[in-house]
C-alpha cells in the first residue's frame, strides 16, 4: 500500500521534520510523560507517510530520548526535563520562588492541598539542583491586592492560591516578561498546570455506572471562587461524556443550595456530582439534616483534608497535587529554555472510594 509523503521542507529530511513537529507538540503539553505514544501505523496515517519513514521517525525519537521503548507496551513519552547527566547551563533559572496566599497554604505550609503542591515542587527543584524559596503573601482588607512578590534576577515564580494570583497579576503589569507558572488557574497567557478534570469525570462516571447509577445531576457554582477555570471545564466535560454514554443527566448552575435541593427532588437522580469535595460534603450534611439520605453516592474532587468529619461519605477523584508541583517546576525550566512559549500541563489523579462500599 502506498502513502503520499507530506512535504514539510524540501531542504530537510521528512522524518526529521516530523520528529521536530512531534517534539514541539510534547513541549507544548499535548502529550504527557509516561503516556503511550502513537503506533507506527498511526504515525503513517497522521502524517501521510510510508511505514519506512514512520520507522525512521520512531528511531529518531528514541535517539533524542523523547520516547523510550517498553517491552509489551510499545513507545512511551519521556519527560523532557533536564536529565541529571546533562549540562545544566542551558537552563537560565538560578532559583524558584513559590508564591502562595497565606490563607491557601499557611505560614507553616500546613494546608493539605497547598502543602502537597509545595512538596512536589520542592522535591523536583532539588532534583534539578535549583534553589527554591517560599514567599507567603498576606491578605489585607485594606489592601486586598497586597504587594507584588519580590523576585531576583534569573528567578522563576510558581503561583498558588487566590491572593497570590491577584498579586502576581499586578506584578505582570510591571514586568510582562516575568517567567511565571500558575497552578490550577490561567494567568495572563502564562503557562498553567491544572488537574485533568476530563480524566476525573471519566473515572467517576465509570464508577457510577458500575453501581447502576443512570440518572446523574451535576451541581456547579457552589464555590465562592466561581471564576476557577475547573468549574467551567467540569460542566463541559460532564455534559459531553454523560451524553456520549447515554446517561440521563442534569446540570444545576444556580449556585444556591436550596435551588439545588429542589432540582434533586424534581429530577430524582441516582447520584449528585460536585466539582469539589467541600460543597459535596455540605450538601451531604444538608440531606442528613432533612432526613433525605436517599442519594446512593455524592461525588466530588478532593480539596479538603482527609480528617474532615464526614469526608468518608464521599467518593472522590483525588488530584495528584505533588505531580502538579513537580510539573510547575518542569514547566518553568522548559519555558525558560523555549523563549517563554506557554506550556499547559494536565495532571491526572485517581478515584478514591472512602468508607463503606455503597
Over the stretch 78-116, which tens digit does the pLDDT of each residue have? 755 433 344 433 456 889 999 887 766 655 555 678 888
Specify the pLDDT at position 139: 63
- The verdict on pTM exceeding 0.75 is no
What is the third-level CATH fold of 14-77? Arc Repressor Mutant, subunit A (1.10.10)
Strands (E), the chain: 67-70, 74-77, 95-101, 131-137, 155-160, 180-183, 192-195, 215-219, 248-252, 271-274, 297-301, 314-318, 345-347, 350-353
Percent share of the chain, pLDDT over 70: 76
Domain 95-195+321-346 in CATH 3.30.70.330? The answer is no
pLDDT recorded at residue 179: 86
pLDDT above 70: residue 224 = no
Backbone angles phi, psi at 196, to 5 degrees: -85, 90
Q: What is the largest CA-CA distance in the chain?
A: 74
- The model's pLDDT over 340-358, given as tens digits with 9 standing for 90+, comes to 556 678 888 889 888 754 4
Q: Are strands 248-252 and 192-195 parallel, antiparallel or unpaired?
A: unpaired
Q: Answer for the pair 7, 15: CB distance below 8 angstroms, yes or no.
A: no
What CATH code would you report for 197-319?
3.40.50.2300
Q: Decide if pLDDT at 158 tops 80.
A: yes
pLDDT average, residue stretch 201-207: 92
The domain segmentation of the chain, as residue ranges, is 14-77, 95-195+321-346, 197-319
Average pLDDT over residues 63-78: 72
Is 90 exceeded by the pLDDT of residue 4?
no
**Would you put residue 106 in left (φ > 0), alpha (ψ -120 to 50) or beta?**
left
Mean pLDDT along residues 199-210 = 92
Beta-bridge partners for 99 = 135, 159
User: What per-residue confidence (pLDDT) applies to 343?
Assistant: 67
- Tens digit of pLDDT for each residue in 240-295? 999 999 999 999 999 899 999 999 999 999 999 998 888 999 998 898 888 876 77
Cell matching residue 77: 513519552
Identical topology for domains 95-195+321-346 and 197-319: yes
Cell numbers of 37, please? 505514544
Q: What is the pLDDT of residues 282-318, one digit of tens each?
A: 998 898 888 876 776 888 888 777 778 888 888 999 8
The larger pLDDT score, comparing residue 2 to residue 144, is at 144
Amino acid at each position: 500500500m502506498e502513502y503520499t509523503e507530506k512535504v514539510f521542507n524540501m531542504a530537510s529530511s521528512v522524518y526529521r521534520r516530523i520528529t521536530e513537529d512531534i517534539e514541539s507538540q510534547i513541549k507544548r503539553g499535548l502529550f504527557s510523560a509516561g503516556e503511550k505514544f502513537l503506533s507506527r501505523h498511526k504515525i503513517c496515517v497522521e502524517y501521510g507517510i510510508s511505514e519506512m519513514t514512520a520507522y525512521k521517525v520512531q528511531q529518531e525519537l528514541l535517539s533524542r530520548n523523547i520516547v523510550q521503548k517498553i517491552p509489551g507496551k510499545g513507545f512511551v513519552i519521556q519527560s523532557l526535563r533536564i536529565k541529571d547527566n546533562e549540562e545544566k547551563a542551558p537552563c537560565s533559572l538560578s532559583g524558584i520562588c513559590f508564591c502562595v496566599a497565606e490563607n491557601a497554604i499557611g505560614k507553616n505550609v500546613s494546608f493539605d492541598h497547598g502543602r502537597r503542591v509545595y512538596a512536589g515542587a520542592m522535591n523536583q527543584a532539588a532534583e534539578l539542583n535549583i534553589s527554591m524559596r517560599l514567599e507567603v503573601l498576606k491578605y489585607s482588607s485594606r489592601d486586598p491586592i497586597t504587594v507584588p512578590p519580590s523576585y531576583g534576577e534569573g528567578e522563576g515564580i510558581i503561583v498558588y492560591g487566590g491572593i497570590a494570583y491577584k498579586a502576581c497579576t499586578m506584578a505582570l503589569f510591571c514586568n510582562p516578561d516575568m517567567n511565571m507558572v500558575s497552578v490550577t488557574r490561567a494567568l495572563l497567557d502564562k503557562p498553567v498546570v491544572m488537574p485533568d478534570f476530563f480524566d476525573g469525570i471519566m473515572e467517576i462516571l465509570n464508577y457510577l455506572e458500575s453501581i447502576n447509577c443512570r440518572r446523574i445531576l451535576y451541581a456547579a457554582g457552589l464555590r465562592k471562587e466561581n471564576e476557577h477555570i475547573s468549574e467551567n471545564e467540569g460542566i463541559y466535560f460532564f455534559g459531553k461524556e454523560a451524553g456520549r454514554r447515554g446517561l440521563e443527566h442534569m446540570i444545576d448552575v444556580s449556585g444556591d443550595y436550596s435551588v439545588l435541593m429542589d432540582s434533586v427532588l424534581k429530577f430524582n437522580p441516582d447520584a449528585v456530582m460536585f466539582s469539589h469535595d467541600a460543597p459535596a460534603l455540605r450538601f451531604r450534611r444538608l440531606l442528613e439534616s432533612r432526613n433525605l439520605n436517599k442519594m446512593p453516592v455524592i461525588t466530588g474532587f478532593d480539596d479538603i483534608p482527609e480528617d474532615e468529619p464526614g469526608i468518608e461519605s464521599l467518593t472522590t477523584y483525588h488530584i495528584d497535587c505533588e505531580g502538579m508541583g513537580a510539573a510547575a517546576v518542569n514547566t518553568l525550566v522548559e519555558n525558560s529554555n523555549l523563549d517563554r512559549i506557554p506550556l499547559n500541563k494536565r495532571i491526572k489523579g485517581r478515584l478514591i472510594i472512602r468508607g463503606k462500599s455503597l
